[in-house]
Amino acid sequence: MPTALLSQLYPAHLATLHHRASVALERGGFDHLVIAAGQPRYQFLDDMPYPFQVNPHFKHWLPVTKAPGSWIVVTPGQRPKLIYLQPHDYWHVVPDVPAGYWVEHFDIVIVREAREAAAHLPGQVERCAILGEDVAAVGAHVPNNPQGVLDYLHYHRAWKTEYELAMMRVASHLGARAHRAAEAAFRSGASEYGIHMAYLGAARETENELPYGNIIGLNEHGAVLHYMNLERNPPLVSHSLLIDAGASFHGYACDITRTYAGSDAAGFAELVGAVDRAQRGFCDRVRAGQSYPELHVHAHHVLAGILREQGFIRMSAESAVESGVSATFFPHGLGHYIGLQVHDIGGFQAGEAGGALARPDGHPYLRLTRTIDAGQVMTIEPGIYFIDMLLAELKQKPQAADVNWDKIAAFRKFGGVRIEDDVACTAEAPENLTRDAFAALN
């Protein structure tokens, strides 16, 4: 992405964050917002650290994700301060000197040891809203994570600035490019591990830099919603591939799922096509004023219709949804917010003062219950799966008589279908970040 564009978009993004911080501090009765980048955590009884993950509040302000021990101080009416830990260390790679389009907007202090940060943090600790984990504490500056401050910031994080949308478009491009490489590896007969390595190579990111662990399931492994085993040996026949994998750019995530049918799987290809067409229709409903829970329930009706049309069930779509049969085949939520985190925060929040919006009855795994608004970005990820545990439960119910068990048995080897895009609500038609990224590769 051109640096000139980032330079143009970043000041407005920073102004938005300043405004949100000022309101949150005033409501909480604080003078300073203090954000810890975080510290590495170590494995039990070992000196081996877990991969460092920066505090999402920290990377909201600047595109720095690998500076443990650093801090940001935001005081209304003043330039934000970055206290940047750049240790003298020959054991590890030292973070680079701050550089780029964002540095002119910060007062930057370099410290060599984590404890030195305390001298540059606000003196009246009781006047500070300190965001982070306890492990990040320096002296008296211990994260207190005031709930009122967090509620306000988390609620408003659903609305992305133009700068954030630009970051997410780049992440989507990286993810789409890697998905293309994964599909090619599948078509060539690669194992799950081989597909994974092709993905990493095309994304040009390590496993620790990805926003989440890749889900790469061949054949019946596609029925395991969070399958991550990565078999090293390919199956005798690759009937299908379900890959759910993302990429990161400057701390922002994309989340993409695609399902592919093998050369011997014409019937399964028809199912993939039907879910794909339905998914496009759901994406088109990402409009301001649309209740996300209502969209989720609508998806159940459409997917139940596909199950009936393709001969998996004999009952009506309405009956399948009302009886819970549709949840056997589509047991998760339609999607979630995405941005600084894959499952971005605030999906259930009733308002800027907190509170929670309940999930619809019978849909315990939905991750987003708010009403869609322009500027928000969410995933749309319907699926139809053949999950042995859920099918066994369905067999014990009266509705089992309206299920075509022979056809389901024939489709178990394919695992399931999931199609997922990241979609931004705008003042006009939705912007499908994922489909646009794939189209740009053609």
Tens of pLDDT, residues 269-283: 999 999 999 999 999
* 79 & 113 share domain: yes
| 301 confidence band (pLDDT: 50, 70, 90) | very high
Q: What is the pLDDT of residues 361-399, one digit of tens each?
A: 999 999 999 999 999 999 999 999 999 999 999 999 999
Q: What's the confidence (pLDDT) of residue 264?
A: 87
Shared-domain flag, residues 257 and 199: yes
Alpha-helix residue ranges (DSSP H) falling in 257-401: 266-284, 292-309, 317-323, 325-329, 388-395
pLDDT at 174 (0 to 100): 98
Q: CATH number of the domain at 383, please.
A: 3.90.230.10
Q: Rg of the Cα trace of the chain?
A: 24
- Where does a domain end: 139, 156, 173? 156
> Does one domain contain both 34 and 93?
yes
Give me the residue label for tokens 């028809």.
Answer: 270
**DSSP-assigned letters across all residues of 120-168:** GS-S-GGGEEEES-GGG-BTTB-----HHHHHHHHHHTTBPPHHHHHHH
Q: Are residues 138 and 193 in the same domain?
A: no
Tell me: do 152 and 166 sit in the same domain. Answer: no
* Cβ partners under 8 Å of residue 110, min gap 6: 84, 86, 97
Number of domain units in the chain: 2
User: Final residue of a domain: which of 156, 182, 203?
Assistant: 156
The pLDDT of residue 442 is 84
* pLDDT tens for each residue of 97-137: 999 999 999 999 999 999 999 999 999 999 999 999 999 99
Are 150 and 211 found together in one domain?
A: no
> How much is the pLDDT for 95?
87
Helices 162-187 and 433-441 cross at an angle (nearest 10°) of 60
C-beta contacts of 348-357 below 8 A and 24+ residues apart:
349/151, 349/154, 349/155, 351/155, 352/151, 352/152, 352/155, 352/156, 353/148, 353/151, 353/152, 354/147, 354/148, 354/151, 357/293
What is the sign, positive or negative, of the torsion defined by CA atoms of 122, 128, 131, 137?
Answer: positive
- For residue range 316-327, what is the model confidence (pLDDT) as tens digits? 999 999 999 999
Which whole number is the average pLDDT over 403-416?
98
pLDDT at 90: 84
Question: Which structural domain, as residue segments, surrounds residue 189?
Answer: 162-441
Domain match, 152 and 171 both: no
Retrieve residue 207's tokens.
């496993």
- For residues 417 and 297, membership in a common domain is answered with yes
Tell whether the model's pLDDT for residue 92 goes beyond 90: no
Grade residue 157 by pLDDT with cuts at 50, 70 and 90.
very high
Q: With cut-offs at 50, 70 and 90, classify the pLDDT of residue 161.
A: very high
Q: Residue 2 above 80 pLDDT?
A: no
Q: Which amino acid is at 233?
A: N
- Considering the chain, what is the average pLDDT of its residues? 97
From 156, 187, 206, give the residue that closes a domain: 156
Those residues whose C-beta lies under 8 Å from the C-beta of residue 288, and which sit 6 or more positions away, are 372, 373, 374, 425, 427
Residue with tokens 């301060």: 81
Nearest to 13 by CA among 375, 360, 384: 375
- Residue 109's DSSP bridge partners are 83
Going by the DSSP 8-state scheme, the letter that residue 442 receives in this structure is -
Is pLDDT of 350 > 90?
yes
Among 50, 207, 168, 105, which residue's Cα sits nearest to residue 433?
168
Amino acid making up residue 53: Q
Quick one: 112 and 183 in the same domain?
no
The pLDDT of residue 91 is 86
pTM of the model: 0.97
Which tokens go with 426?
């705008």
pLDDT category of residue 93 using cuts at 50, 70 and 90: confident
* Domain co-membership, 256 together with 176: yes
Distance between CA atoms of 86 and 97, rounded to whole angstroms? Answer: 8
CATH number for position 104: 3.40.350.10
Kindly indicate the confidence band of residue 225, based on its pLDDT and cuts at 50, 70 and 90. Answer: very high
Residue 251 shares a structural domain with residue 302: yes
Q: Which helix (H) or strand (E) holds 33?
A: strand 32-36
37 and 177 both lie in a single domain? no
Identify the band that residue 164 occupies on the pLDDT scale cut at 50, 70 and 90.
very high
The pLDDT score that the predictor gives to residue 96 is: 87
Residue among 274, 258, 365 nearest 312 (CA): 274
Evaluate if residue 4 carries a pLDDT over 90.
no
Give 359 or 92, the one with higher predicted confidence. Answer: 359
Average pLDDT of the segment spanning 53-59: 98
Determine the Cα–Cα distance for residues 184 and 174; give it in Å rounded to an integer.
16
> pLDDT at position 218, please?
98
